[in-house]
Amino acid sequence: MKLKVSIFIFLLGLTGIGLFWRADISPYFTLLAQRPCACDRCLSEGDSLFEQRFSKYDEPFLSANYNLSEDNFNWWKHLQGRGQLLSAYREKVERIFQLVPATAHVEASSPDRCRTCAVVGNSGNLMNSHYGPLIDFQDFVIRINRGQIKGYEADVGTRTTHRVMYPESAVDIDNTTIPVLFPFKLKDFDWFTKAVSTGPSGR
**Helix, strand, or coil (residue 98):** coil
pLDDT at 106 over 80: no
Of 161, 157, 123, 166, nearest to 142 (Cα)?
161
**Helix, strand, or coil (residue 56):** coil
Q: Does 140 reside within a domain? A: no
Q: Kindly report, residue by residue over 6-30, the tens digit of the pLDDT.
A: 665 655 565 655 555 555 544 444 4
Which range marks the domain in which residue 89 is found?
51-106+184-198
Q: Does 30 reside within a domain? A: no
Write the secondary structure of the chain as one string of H (helix), E (strand) and C (coil): CHHHHHHHHHHHHHHHHHHHHHHHHHHHHHHHHHCCCCCCCCCCCCCHHHHHHCCCCCCCCCCCCCCCCHHHHHHHHHCCCCCCCHHHHHHHHHHHCCCCCCCCCCCCCCCCCCCCEEEECCCHHHCCCCCHHHHHHCCEEEEECCCCCCCCHHHHCCCCCEEEECHHHCCCCCCCCEEEECCCCHHHHHHHHHHHHCCCCCC
Q: Does 96 reside within a domain? A: yes
Q: Does 80 reside within a domain? A: yes
Q: Kindly report, residue by residue over 132-186, the tens digit of the pLDDT.
A: 999 999 999 999 998 889 999 999 999 999 999 888 888 888 888 888 888 888 8
Q: Does 99 reside within a domain? A: yes
**Range in 79-83, 108-112, 139-143, 188-192 the model is least confident about:** 79-83
State the pLDDT at residue 157. Answer: 96
Q: Does 143 reside within a domain? A: no
Kindly report the pTM of this predicted structure: 0.70
Q: Does 118 reside within a domain? A: no
Q: Does 192 reside within a domain? A: yes
Total domain count for the chain? 1
Q: Kindly report, residue by residue over 32-70, the tens digit of the pLDDT.
A: 456 677 787 776 677 788 777 777 777 778 888 888 888
**Average pLDDT estimate for 123-135:** 94
